[in-house]
Structure 1
Amino acid sequence: MGRDRGVRRFGAALLICAVGIGLLSCSGPTDPLPTETPTPTRARPASDIVPVPIAYAPLRGTLADGAALAHPSIGVKIDNHEEARPQIALNRSDIAFEELVEGGITRYAVVWHADVPDEVGPVRSIRPMDPDILTPFGGPVAYSGGQDVFVEMMMSTGLPNLVFDYDETGLFYRADDRPGPHDVILLAKEGVGRYLELGPPPTQFVFGGTDPLADPAYAAQPTSHIALVFSDARFPSWDWDAATGAWLRSQEGVPESEASGERVRATNVVTLRVGIDWSWGEVPRTVLDGGGEAWVSAAGRTAHGTWSKASREAPIVLTADDGTPLRLAPGNTWVELVPNEGGVTFAP
C-alpha cells in the first residue's frame, strides 16, 4: 500500500509539471525564463497626438477637415450665354443662384468655399440683385464690371470687390480658346488667399440626412423631373438620377455639361418664386426682400413651403408648410430664382 501511495504521489507530480509546461508552451520546447524584467514600452503621450479637426462645411453640410475650411468663400458672377458654355468648375461650387437678366437670358451668382478651384469662369458683370444674393456669405465678390450704379451698389456692401475692369494684379485673364466677352477667367483660389482674415461663411440653410424630406409631415411628393421657365429664352430643367443621387441639369432641352466634361449636377434644387423690379429699365432686378413660395427638391422628392429674407445681410430662410425648417441633403445646392410670371412644374 505504501508503494502504491508513492506511485500516486509521483504521478501527481508529473501531472503538475505537465500542466505547467503546457501553460508555458502548447507546441514544441519551452523558451528559457527571462532572467531580467523587460522594460515596458512607453505609451505615446496624449500631447504628441495631433487630432484632425473635423467640422461641417457650412454651405454644404458635409464633413470636412476643419482646418481646410478656415478661409472665406468667394462669390463670382458667371456667364450663361450660349457662347460662355461650358462653364468652369460649377460642380465644385457650394451654392449656385440662377437669376434673370436683360434679354430674357440668365446668369449665375456662384459661391465656392469647401472646394475652391484654381480657376472659374467665364466671369461677367454685376447686376442690381447681386448685393442681396452675395452679401450674406461675407467673402470677396468677383465680377468683370458693370454699370457704375450697380458697381457702386456692390462696393457699398463692404465686401472685397475683385473687378476685372480695375484689376492690375493678374487675378483675371482672357482665355484664348473662348470668344470675347465670354472669355474672362478668375484665379479663384488666389483670390480667396488674399482675404484669409475674413474666415469662413456662416451657414445659410438647414441640413438633414441624405433623405431629408422623408418625414411624412413634409408631404413631399416623388419627383423625377423639374421644369422651370424664366423666359422664352431660358427654360432649364433637372432630372433625378437615383444611380448617382443627384439632379442632372439641362438647358432648353439640351443636357448641360461643365468644362471638365461632367454633367452639371446638384444634390439639392431650391426653387423660389420671386418678384421682378423693372426700375432699372431693361435690367431686371430679382426682388429678394420679403418672401414668397418655395420648393426644396432632394433625394427624388419635393416639398413645398415658403422663403423669407429679413435683410440684405440675412440668409434665405426656408420654411415647410407645417412651420418647420425645410431641410436640405448634405451636398451642393442650386437656387433657382424663377420670376412669378415664369413656370414651375414637378413631375413624378
Structure 2
Amino acid sequence: MALIAAVVGFVAWRGDGEPGTPVAPAPTSEGPASTGGRAPLTGLPTAGALNRPAITVKVSNTPDAHPQRGIGEADIVFVEPITGGTTRLAAIFHSKLPAQVGPVRSLRPMDAALIGPTKGIIADTMADRWVMEYVDRVADLDDLGTLRVPAGTYRLDDTRRAPNHVFARPDKLLELSDRKAAPTPYFAYSANQEQSTAQRTGERASSVTIGYGGAATATWTYNQGSHRWARAEKWSQHLIENGPQVTADNVVVLTANRDTSFPKAKPTMTILDVFDASGTLRLFTGDKVVAGRWSKGAVNELFRFTTTDGEPLLLTPGTTWVECALTSMAIQTR
C-alpha cells in the first residue's frame, strides 16, 4: 500500500477494488496530424491544428458512479458490457480536454481493439495482470494507469466512495506521455447532417433501447429541437456532473459475438469479438436510422462501417457514442 500511495498520492484501485500490478508500458508510435481543417475524431471544422494525441479514459458506469465528470467533452465514447447488467465507458478526448474525467476504472481486453486505432494515451486503474499484459502486448497505446504515474496525475475525491473516487487529469497525462501526434480520423464523415448516410437513405426513428440488462439498459431519444440524441439509463437520465443530459450527434449500435478466446477470463466477464471480425450495426443520425455492417482487421486497425450494399457509411460531423452489444441482446427501435 505504501507503493500505491507514493504513486498517486493516496490510494488508487484497479477494477476489482484491489491494488493492480505494474507492467512495462507499451511502445510509442507516430501518426498523422489533423489535416483539412477538421478535427479527426469529430469531423468538425477547427480553427487550428490539433497536434496532440487522443486521450482515452476508462469510466465507471454503475449507478453509484453517477454523475460522471468530464464525459460531455468527449469526441467519441464506447459503451462496453463488462458483466451481466453492467457497462463501462471508454471516453476518447481530443478536440477538448476537460480538467478531470471519471470516475476512472479498470481496463478490459476489448479496449485494445476499440482504442488501439487512436495510437494515443489511455488512463485507467490498471486491471488483472493478464489483461494488462495482453493490452500492452497488442495495442499501440501509452497506458498511463494509476500505478505507472507520479503523484498528482490522478485525483482522489474524498466526497466519493471507493472505488468510484479516482479522477484522471488529462493535462497531466499529456505532460507525461511521449505521444505527440494527432489520431487518424476514426470514422468517415459527411459535410453536414443532411448529407449523412442516415439522413439520405434511412428511415424515421425517435428512440432506440439497448438491452444490456439490469440498470445498464440504455435508451437514446431524439430531440427535435437540438437535432441530437439524448441518453438515459433504466434508472435515470444520463446526467453529467453539474451539467446537462448526455447527448450525441451520432449513435452507433454495434452488435458482436462473444469472444471466448481468453482462458484466464472469469466466466462472468463479457468480452466482445471486435477484431478480425464483422457484424451488423445501426446508425442514428438526425431523426433517422440506417442499417449497416462493420468489419475490423487487426487490433490497431480502424473499423470499416458500410451500408448493407457495401457503400461507406458517413456520419454527421460531431460527437459519436458507440453502444457495443452482444448479438443476443435486444435492440428496440421506435
Contact 2:62/2:216 (<8 A) preserved: no
- CA distance in 2 between counterparts of 1:91 and 1:168 reads 27
Structure 2 residue aligned with 1:308, among 286, 295, 305? 295
Q: Tell me what 1:210 maps to.
A: 193
Cα 1:100/1:112, change in 2 over 3 Å: same
Contact 1:93/1:110 (<8 A) preserved: yes
Q: Which runs of 5+ in 2 are unaligned?
A: 1-34
How big is each residue's C-alpha offset from its partner over 1:132-167, in whole Å with a ceiling of 9 and x where there is no partner? Answer: 111100111110011000111222224211111343
Q: Tell me what 1:228 maps to.
A: 210
Tell me the C-alpha RMSD between the 2 structures. Answer: 1.6
- One-letter amino acid of the counterpart of residue 302, structure 1: V
Q: Tell me what 1:50 maps to.
A: none
- One-letter amino acid of the counterpart of residue 210, structure 1: Q
How big is each residue's C-alpha offset from its partner over 1:84-122, in whole Å with a ceiling of 9 and x where there is no partner? Answer: 111112111010000111243000111000011121111
- CA distance in 1 between counterparts of 2:203 and 2:311 reads 17
Correspondences of 1:3-42 after superposition (within 5 Å): none
Q: Tell me what 2:39 maps to.
A: 57
State yes or no: 1:283 paired with 2:269.
Answer: yes
**Larger RCO, structure (CA 8 Å, separation 6 or more):** 2
- CA distance in 2 between counterparts of 1:301 and 1:168 reads 47
Cα 1:184/1:170, change in 2 over 3 Å: same
- CA distance in 1 between counterparts of 2:132 and 2:281 reads 29
Correspondences of 1:63-74 after superposition (within 5 Å): 63-67=45-49, 69-74=50-55
- CA distance in 2 between counterparts of 1:340 and 1:130 reads 19
- CA distance in 1 between counterparts of 2:179 and 2:258 reads 36
How big is each residue's C-alpha offset from its partner over 1:15-66, in whole Å with a ceiling of 9 and x where there is no partner? Answer: xxxxxxxxxxxxxxxxxxxxxxxxxxxxxxxxxxxxxx97100010000123
Cα 1:273/1:233, change in 2 over 3 Å: same
Q: Tell me what 2:308 maps to.
A: 321
- CA distance in 2 between counterparts of 1:133 and 1:215 reads 26
- CA distance in 2 between counterparts of 1:54 and 1:132 reads 27
Aligned residues: 292
Q: Tell me what 1:340 maps to.
A: 327
Structure 2 residue aligned with 1:124, among 105, 124, 128? 105
Correspondences of 1:145-160 after superposition (within 5 Å): 145-156=126-137, 157-160=139-142
Contact 2:199/2:285 (<8 A) preserved: no
- Offset at 1:252? 0.6
- CA distance in 1 between counterparts of 2:199 and 2:271 reads 36
**SS class of match (1:134):** helix
**SS class of match (1:286):** coil
State yes or no: 1:242 paired with 2:224.
Answer: yes
Contact 2:228/2:286 (<8 A) preserved: yes
**TM-score normalised per structure 2:** 0.84
Larger Rg: 1
- CA distance in 2 between counterparts of 1:158 and 1:323 reads 28
Q: Tell me what 1:186 maps to.
A: 168
Cα 1:193/1:165, change in 2 over 3 Å: closer
Q: Tell me what 1:78 maps to.
A: 59
- CA distance in 2 between counterparts of 1:93 and 1:288 reads 22
State yes or no: 1:111 paired with 2:92.
Answer: yes
The alignment-based identity, stated in percent, is: 27
